[in-house]
Amino acid sequence: MPGFFEFLSERGYESHEIKRLDIRWDHIIKPFLPEIEGARVLDLASHDGRWPYAFAAAGAREVIAVEGRAETVAQFADFPDTDARRRVNLSAGNLFDFCRDLVARGEKFDVIGILGVFYHIMDHNLLLTYCRELGAKLVIIDSLFMDVPESMILVKTEPVKRDLNAIAAFEGQKRGIQGIVSIPAFREMAELLEFSVEQVSWEDVDAEFRQPRLVKDYFRAKKKRRYTFALRRQAGSSAASPNSGAQS
């Protein structure tokens, strides 16, 4: 039976890429359908708009999205001309600048998606703080993490020419930074910002799909492994600014 992302076959996606996205949809969108329905959604590092489109198709009333590469944003114009696409506003820009400007304007969102970019940055705590400032009731994070007992961030580099990797910080830069957060460090950041942390189970995925070209990265018996988490604001928590507590 065709999955949600089957329409991407007409945009040059290969069958294994579509199957991977469909399996991820089952764990990133499907568990949260009641919370997405009627929500105002912010999606960060949106690539060609596939996840903003998925949020809109799942019933979000509006999806604001940002992606760092303008040429990738342009591809969204080729998505099916549906009501879902018309409820997506996808812009090109730096996600931290974008979030800072949204906070300055007093914008609020019900749901925020951080799907893939969390290990391509170093300012994880700042990004989570922006999520809090933007009023998110639910933050969905899907990322590579370090599954180790230590509270740490593993720093690596990656080529910026690949469109799913970090964005170049200056013209001519060849490699960018990966910051892979350990689960204890991630939990501490989230909980200090008064978010609860819930891990989304992937154990329902059939063994035949746990292969390298599909979703093996969610089942690695290694320190680096992909996880999906849901962060929710704890009842009674108060608002704070990204600079609260800072001293000069």
pLDDT of residue 2: 76
Please report, for residues 109, 179, 183, 225, the alpha-carbon distance to residue 221 in angstroms, rounded to integers and kept in the order given: 36, 20, 15, 8
pLDDT of residue 163: 85
- Domain count for the chain: 1
* Residue 119 maps to a domain: yes
pLDDT of residue 237: 60
* Residue 180 maps to a domain: no
* Residue 67 maps to a domain: yes
Distance in angstroms (rounded) separating the CA atoms of residues 186 and 131: 14
Distance in angstroms (rounded) separating the CA atoms of residues 111 and 240: 18
**Residue 5 buriedness (CB in 10 A; 0-12 / 13-18 / 19+):** buried
* Residue 157 maps to a domain: no
* Residue 30 maps to a domain: yes
Tokens (6 digits) for 20:
């991977």
What CATH number is attached to the domain comprising 39?
A: 3.40.50.150
Q: Distance between the two ends of the chain, CA-based, in angstroms?
A: 59
Distance in angstroms (rounded) separating the CA atoms of residues 53 and 76: 9
Using an 8 Å Cβ cutoff, are 115 and 142 in contact?
yes
Task: List all residues 6 or more positions away from 66 whose beta carbon is below 8 Å from its beta carbon.
Answer: 43, 44, 45, 46, 90, 91, 92, 93, 94, 95, 98
Using an 8 Å Cβ cutoff, are 33 and 58 in contact?
yes
Q: The domain containing residue 209 runs over which residues? A: 8-142+186-215+225-232
* Residue 3 maps to a domain: no
* Residue 244 maps to a domain: no
* Residue 71 maps to a domain: yes
pLDDT of residue 103: 98
For the chain, helix, strand, coil in percent to 5 are 35, 25, 40
* Rounded average pLDDT per 10-residue block, the chain, 248 residues: 90 95 98 98 97 98 97 96 97 97 98 97 97 98 97 95 88 94 98 98 96 95 95 70 36
